Chains A and B, each alone.
Chain A
Amino acid sequence: MKSKTFLMLLLFFLVFANFNFAKDTGKILPYKIHQTKLSNDLNIVTVPFDSPGIAAFYIVVRVGARNEVEEGVTGFAHFFEHMMFRGTDKYPKREYQAVLKSIGASANANTSQDRTVYHMTGSAEKLELMFEIEADRFMNLNYSEHDFKTEAGAVKGEYTKNFASPYQQNFENLKNTAFDKHTYKHTTMGFFDDIVDMPNQYEYSKTFFDRYYRPEYCTVVVVGDVTHDQVVSLSKKYFGDWERGNYTVEIPTEPKQTETRYTHLQNGSIPPYLGLHYKGPAFNDKEIDMPALDVLSSIVFSQTSDLYKKLVLEERKARFIGGGAFDSRDPNLFSIQASLINEADLQYVKDEIVKAIEKVKTEGVDEETLNKTKSNLKYSFAMNIDAPDNIANSLSHYIQLTGDPESLNRLYQLYDKVSVEDVVMVAKKYFVQTGLTVSTISDKEMGGVK
């Protein structure tokens, strides 16, 4: 045993002796992020990358379910993403599709709570055409009321496929229970009644486009076999005339939660499920809270944690346990989720999770585990940036949060600074009974977890 410990220590030193990420800059991303802001406030980001002949072209719009502040229009950011494929005067929908097909790209879009992302990965030789058709629809989208109503049916179809999963039903209930005022109360799909009513919102859709599909809300990201000069030049040519807007949305502040909340779904078709969801912080690349919570979640809830070993590997009370914070613009949830073997163990598993958190508050975490976790975070990232899409996705994630892709580098610099005291501090600050929502799924009428 002693020799094993020694070997582990030796390994640990070797890890850091060999650690060589972007030595010169101290940045996690070993490639330079080029940024230029056009005069209309459209941000242009380029990362040249060795992917011969291939480029990933993304547009991040910082609008998502979070922006749906008005009653009756939840799910609209996502619905609007669908409408963006319905054509312009220059390229009506069938012509748009024909051009898209001629590019031969993998192209689509998706929406989440804080952003909508349009992406197109294909031949770098077709980059100018990509710019042309994207700029055209971002500036000149024009769809008929009939097309609008028709597309609403596809959104309902999407809801229908998602709703087959009890986990999705539980997620809807959770958000609705955990939040009172903030728009994180609803999922990106929106409330079902609002989805059914979508065909009646044609006029609102025009308002929505006018507000948010503006350069100041958008960042163009190009990764791959390109140069920044080329990307800026194309951006100026195709997006240069895009007029800046002037709309700012006021998101309701979530009042402080004062007691534990509960939500339960009676469904015996899947294994019993337990979720503990604590109110956490917003993403911030300058404060230590979120990085410390990321480190904590890996130490306390990952497959190498004592909790996982006990409940999943040794006692086999749970099939799975995991936890982590949602990166988001406003304070959101830190969720710990477990899939159980028996419904009777729901309370026991909850108590064990709480015990593991309390242990961090009172005893802290050991320094060696902390350092291993930092190493894990960095190498996980380094191993994943092996294709233009992966890099573009990663940059888009941070652009939605702060508007600046350099947040990625800043976050990893903060990981390096997380101390044991920081981990204890965030455990005490965020894992409190009054900030907790418990969600359960079982075949019983009530969740039964205190």
Chain B
Amino acid sequence: MKKLILIMLLAGSIFAQEVVELKLPNSNKVVIKLRFQNGSITDPVGKEGLTHFTANLVTQGGTEKMSYSEIQDFIYPMAASYYVNVDKEVATFTFQVHMDFLNKFYPVMMNMMLSPAFSESDFQRVKTNQQNYVDQVIRASSDEEYSKKALEDLLFRGTNYQHMKQGMSESVRSITIDDVKDHYKNYFTSNNLIIGIAGNYSNDFLTKLKNDLQKLSDAKPEIPEPGKAIMPKGLQVEIVQKDNAFGSAIFAGFPLSITRADDEFAALAVANSYLGEHRKSYSKLYQLLRETRSMNYGDYSYIEWYDNGGGNMLPPSGTPRTSNYFSIWIRPVQIAKQLKQQYEELKEVEIGHAHFALRMALKEIDRLVQNGLTQKEFETTRDFLISYTKLYAQSPSARLGYLMDSRFYGREDYIAELDNLLRDLTLDDVNKAIKKHWQVENMFVTIITDKSEAGPLAASIKENKPSPMSYSDQVKEGLPEEVLQQDAEAANFKLNVKNVEIINSEETFKKKEDKVSL
């Protein structure tokens, strides 16, 4: 279906312009989303980060008529807002304005899209910030986000999906202003645009919007095939060591062949919600690792990309993807250095909790693959999702975003269709989907940790050494026998480890091919 849409768009007919509408006559504002079917996968080799850069220079720069600061001055009393979000396969500009100002804001918005200035001073400012992100921010601000990006670096190695949307240190450095101008002309065109509009607007306004956007470049963008995630042989573990890390942050994952486009996705959504619904205390990983064993702040699983998991409670729109993977997120667990300092009884421990946590999580996934859910577990989780998914899109902007994502997957309204799919599911559908799509034999694992922890942890994982859970006495004394029994089994759960590598933080996101893993 998606290919059909692309072909339609590439035909370049004005009448083929796809529009997603959400009329809300009682709303006091208008939300416009301009989505271009190109994301970081269209970055040229050696210029990774260019799509993100180009889109951000549009929103953080001036136009031929107004400088960036004149735009800010002009829209200040209106409190109008705009931003762009670039992902692997799409770039979405979002504009929000109160209906009182729609007609006044409109020319500014249109100038931004049709005649961005791409001035040297704006270029330098945006470049410095993007350079800083790839050089410093990703490594220093959140080890959790870092481990997630490091996982994608392994899963998609050698493909156009590998690099962060912001690019890499060398590639960002090499981007020139001419690169940006060319990229905008060739990839932000009327031929790969989908218009989204929500709120209180007239038909005349929409007609004008559609007509004006036809003045975008008429180039025919060549969008490459999205890279596919790689199924590793065995467990391929990358430990990233850095100074003064306070814990071990873990992500692990393997390719998934289905997406929202497939009806079977609903079955896997139930399984995933049961195993590790994002930020929910009634999921298994959370209960096993956090609630029972107080190992960290939370543990979740995902069957598609979840943007900014540390900040979002509900899944945001705007990141539809063709290439998919399953992942688990184990939030930072204690390292040996900290345990030794805090508990006299643990002064002899050699490694912290990362190895045990990984085993515990994989053992639970393995149990699901072997045994599946029970009828009751299936029903309660399915019923939960039928209600919960309605909350994904509460604001006009979120509703519009979800509708536009639906089109990417060849659907009209994913949330409504998911409701029907969930209601039609059986336990057998769910357990079959688990067996078909999940396993614990082959996956990539990334762990961001302290230099003091990396060596002993690598040795422990590599040699499949027993990794008994090291509780403080205070917690241990109250644990029921059943938990201790589970611990003993998890501590010796054999992982199919094929390779463990330690790399320094400065070396991450540099490799293009991985000879060892593949």
Residues of A whose CB lies within 8 Å of any CB of B are 8, 11-12, 14-15, 18-20, 50-51, 53-54, 85, 93, 97-98, 100-106, 108, 121-123, 126, 144-146, 149-154, 156-158, 160-161, 163-167, 196, 199-200, 267, 269-271, 302-304, 309, 312-314, 316, 319, 341, 371-373, 375-380, 382-383, 386-390
- Provide the residues of chain A in CB contact with B381, threshold 8 Å: 101
**8 pairs across A/B with beta carbons < 8 Å?**
A11-B74, A149-B478, A160-B333, A313-B68, A313-B69, A316-B124, A379-B78, A379-B79
Could you tell me if B282 and A101 are in contact, using CB atoms closer than 8 angstroms? yes
Against A, the Cβ 8 Å flags (1 = close, 0 = not) of B381-411 are 1011111101100111100000000000000
Q: A55 to B165: give the CA distance in the assembly, Å.
A: 37
Q: Which of A160, A319, A376 contacts B334 (CB 8 A)?
A: A160
What 9 A-B pairs have minimum CB-CB distances, sorted nearest first? A104-B387, A153-B294, A146-B478, A379-B79, A157-B296, A269-B140, A375-B77, A387-B394, A97-B282
Asked whether any CB of chain A lies closer than 8 Å to the CB of B11, the reply is no
Could you tell me if B479 and A19 are in contact, using CB atoms closer than 8 angstroms? no
Q: Which of A11, A101, A108, A382 contacts B77 (CB 8 A)?
A: A11
How many whole Å from A315's CB to the nearest CB in chain B?
A: 10
Asked whether any CB of chain A lies closer than 8 Å to the CB of B106, the reply is no
Against A, the Cβ 8 Å flags (1 = close, 0 = not) of B469-500 are 00010110111000000000000000000000
The number of residue pairs between A and B whose CB atoms lie closer than 8 Å in the complex comes to 214
Could you tell me if B294 and A106 are in contact, using CB atoms closer than 8 angstroms? no
Knowing A165-B141, A313-B69, say if A108 contacts B313 (CB, 8 Å): yes
Asked whether any CB of chain A lies closer than 8 Å to the CB of B211, the reply is no
Could you tell me if B313 and A158 are in contact, using CB atoms closer than 8 angstroms? no
Could you tell me if B297 and A165 are in contact, using CB atoms closer than 8 angstroms? no
Q: A150 to B469: give the CA distance in the assembly, Å.
A: 14
Knowing A157-B290, A313-B121, A319-B132, say if A104 contacts B73 (CB, 8 Å): no
Q: List residues 449-484 of chain B with CB under 8 A from any CB of chain A.
A: 472, 474-475, 477-479
Knowing A20-B100, A164-B142, say if A101 contacts B391 (CB, 8 Å): no
Q: List residues 106-130 of chain B with CB under 8 A from any CB of chain A.
A: 121, 124-125, 128-129
- Provide the residues of chain B in CB contact with A53, threshold 8 Å: 390
Could you tell me if B141 and A270 are in contact, using CB atoms closer than 8 angstroms? yes
Could you tell me if B100 and A18 are in contact, using CB atoms closer than 8 angstroms? yes
How many whole Å from A189's CB to the nearest CB in chain B?
A: 11
Name the residue of chain A whose CB is nearest to the CB of B100.
Answer: A18
Q: Which of A121, A163, A166 contacts B391 (CB 8 A)?
A: A121
Chain A interface, DSSP helix/strand/loop, else mixed: helix
- Provide the residues of chain A in CB contact with B247, threshold 8 Å: 157, 160-161, 164
Q: Which of B69, B388, B474 contacts A304 (CB 8 A)?
A: B69
Could you tell me if A104 and B388 are in contact, using CB atoms closer than 8 angstroms? yes
Q: List residues 266-302 of chain B with CB under 8 A from any CB of chain A.
A: 279-282, 287, 290-298
How many whole Å from A100's CB to the nearest CB in chain B?
A: 6
How many whole Å from B195's CB to the nearest CB in chain A?
A: 20
Could you tell me if B29 and A303 are in contact, using CB atoms closer than 8 angstroms? no
Asked whether any CB of chain A lies closer than 8 Å to the CB of B420, the reply is no
Name the residue of chain A whose CB is nearest to the CB of B341.
Answer: A196
- Provide the residues of chain A in CB contact with B517, threshold 8 Å: none
The count of chain B contact residues (Cβ–Cβ below 8 Å) is 81
Could you tell me if A383 and B79 are in contact, using CB atoms closer than 8 angstroms? yes
Name the residue of chain A whose CB is nearest to the CB of B388.
Answer: A104
Asked whether any CB of chain A lies closer than 8 Å to the CB of B137, the reply is yes
Interface-centre pick from B77, B96, B125 (highest chain A CB count, 10 A): B77
Q: Which of B77, B142, B292 contacts A376 (CB 8 A)?
A: B77
Could you tell me if B384 and A271 are in contact, using CB atoms closer than 8 angstroms? no
Q: A149 to B331: give the CA distance in the assembly, Å.
A: 19
Q: List residues 124-181 of chain B with CB under 8 A from any CB of chain A.
A: 124-125, 128-129, 132, 136-137, 139-144
Could you tell me if A150 and B292 are in contact, using CB atoms closer than 8 angstroms? yes
Q: List residues 58-79 of chain B with CB under 8 A from any CB of chain A.
A: 68-69, 72-74, 76-79
- Provide the residues of chain B in CB contact with A270, threshold 8 Å: 136-137, 140-141
Could you tell me if B81 and A383 are in contact, using CB atoms closer than 8 angstroms? yes
Q: A165 to B296: give the CA distance in the assembly, Å.
A: 17
- Provide the residues of chain A in CB contact with B291, threshold 8 Å: 93, 150, 154
Could you tell me if B331 and A271 are in contact, using CB atoms closer than 8 angstroms? no
Q: A101 to B513: give the CA distance in the assembly, Å.
A: 44
Could you tell me if B331 and A19 are in contact, using CB atoms closer than 8 angstroms? no
Could you tell me if B129 and A319 are in contact, using CB atoms closer than 8 angstroms? yes
How many whole Å from A3's CB to the nearest CB in chain B?
A: 13
- Provide the residues of chain A in CB contact with B308, threshold 8 Å: none
Asked whether any CB of chain A lies closer than 8 Å to the CB of B28, the reply is yes
Could you tell me if B27 and A386 are in contact, using CB atoms closer than 8 angstroms? yes
Q: A296 to B293: give the CA distance in the assembly, Å.
A: 49
Could you tell me if B391 and A122 are in contact, using CB atoms closer than 8 angstroms? yes
Knowing A102-B383, A164-B249, say if A8 contacts B136 (CB, 8 Å): no
Q: A199-B472, A269-B136 are in contact. List 18 more A-B contacts (CB 8 A).
A: A15-B77, A97-B281, A104-B387, A106-B388, A108-B313, A146-B477, A153-B294, A157-B331, A160-B332, A160-B334, A161-B247, A161-B249, A271-B136, A304-B72, A372-B76, A372-B77, A376-B77, A386-B397
Against A, the Cβ 8 Å flags (1 = close, 0 = not) of B310-338 are 10011000000000000000011110001
- Provide the residues of chain A in CB contact with B332, threshold 8 Å: 157, 160-161, 164
- Provide the residues of chain A in CB contact with B290, threshold 8 Å: 154, 157
How many whole Å from A88's CB to the nearest CB in chain B?
A: 15
Knowing A375-B79, A387-B395, say if A102 contacts B380 (CB, 8 Å): yes
- Provide the residues of chain B in CB contact with A387, threshold 8 Å: 394-395
- Provide the residues of chain A in CB contact with B72, threshold 8 Å: 303-304
Q: A65 to B448: give the CA distance in the assembly, Å.
A: 31
How many whole Å from B345's CB to the nearest CB in chain A?
A: 13
Asked whether any CB of chain A lies closer than 8 Å to the CB of B246, the reply is yes
Could you tell me if A389 and B394 are in contact, using CB atoms closer than 8 angstroms? yes
How many whole Å from B141's CB to the nearest CB in chain A?
A: 5
Interface-centre pick from A14, A108, A157, A319 (highest chain B CB count, 10 A): A157
Name the residue of chain B whose CB is nearest to the CB of A319.
Answer: B129
Q: A160 to B142: give the CA distance in the assembly, Å.
A: 11
Could you tell me if A382 and B28 are in contact, using CB atoms closer than 8 angstroms? yes
- Provide the residues of chain B in CB contact with A145, threshold 8 Å: 478
Interface-centre pick from A121, A164, A371 (highest chain B CB count, 10 A): A164
Could you tell me if A151 and B294 are in contact, using CB atoms closer than 8 angstroms? yes
Knowing A11-B104, A150-B294, A157-B297, say if A199 contacts B475 (CB, 8 Å): yes
- Provide the residues of chain A in CB contact with B246, threshold 8 Å: 160, 163-164
Q: A380 to B76: give the CA distance in the assembly, Å.
A: 10
Could you tell me if B331 and A304 are in contact, using CB atoms closer than 8 angstroms? no
Knowing A157-B331, A161-B144, say if A379 contacts B77 (CB, 8 Å): yes
Could you tell me if A103 and B387 are in contact, using CB atoms closer than 8 angstroms? yes
Could you tell me if B391 and A316 are in contact, using CB atoms closer than 8 angstroms? no
Knowing A122-B391, A157-B290, A376-B79, say if A164 contacts B141 (CB, 8 Å): yes
- Provide the residues of chain A in CB contact with B261, threshold 8 Å: none
Name the residue of chain B whose CB is nearest to the CB of A121.
Answer: B391
- Provide the residues of chain B in CB contact with A15, threshold 8 Å: 77-78, 100-101
Knowing A146-B478, A313-B69, say if A106 contacts B314 (CB, 8 Å): yes
Q: A376 to B97: give the CA distance in the assembly, Å.
A: 12
How many whole Å from A103's CB to the nearest CB in chain B?
A: 7
How many whole Å from B207's CB to the nearest CB in chain A?
A: 23
Q: A189 to B74: give the CA distance in the assembly, Å.
A: 41
